[in-house]
Chains A and B, each alone.
Chain A
Amino acid sequence: MNRYALGVGAAAMVVGAAALADPNTDVALEIDGVAIKTIAASAHADNPIGDTLISGWHYRNDETRALQLDDFDNPAFLAVELGRELWEAADGASGKSCADCHGGIDGFAGLRANMPKWSEAAGRPLTLEQWINWSRKEHQGAEPWKWESEQMLGMTAAIAVESRGMPMDVQTDGPMAEWFEKGRDLYYTRTGQLDFACASCHEANSGMMLRADHLSQGHLNGFPTYRLKWQGIGSIHRRLKGCVQDTRAEPYAVGSDELVALELYVSWRGEGLDIEAPAVRQ
Chain B
Amino acid sequence: AALLAGAAAQAEIAPSDVAIADGALETPVADAPGDAERGKAWYADRGLGNCMTCHQNAALPEISFQGDVAPPLDGVGARYSEAELRAIVVNSKEVFGEQTFMPAFYRIDGLKIVRKESVGKPILDAQQVEDVVAYLKTLTD
Contacts and interface: CB of A to CB of B under 8 A. Distances in A.
A249 B115 contact: yes
Contacts of B99: 204
B123 A249 contact: no
B71 interface: yes
Interface in A6-26: 7-8, 10-12, 14-17, 19-21
Given A11-B56, A191-B112, A205 B101 contact: yes
A2 B64 CA distance: 21
Nearest to B69: A208
Contact of B72 (A4, A21, A190): A4
Contacts, number: 102
B66 A211 contact: yes
Contacts of A20: 68
Q: Is the interface of A mostly helix, strand, loop or mixed?
A: loop
B118 A193 contact: yes
Interface residues of A, number: 36
A248 B115 CA distance: 6
Contact of A14 (B52, B61, B116): B61
B113 A14 contact: no
A200 interface: yes
Interface of A: 2, 4, 7-8, 10-12, 14-17, 19-21, 189-196, 200, 204-205, 208-212, 215, 245, 248-251
Interface of B: 52-54, 56-58, 60-61, 63-72, 74, 99, 101, 103-104, 111-116, 118, 121, 123
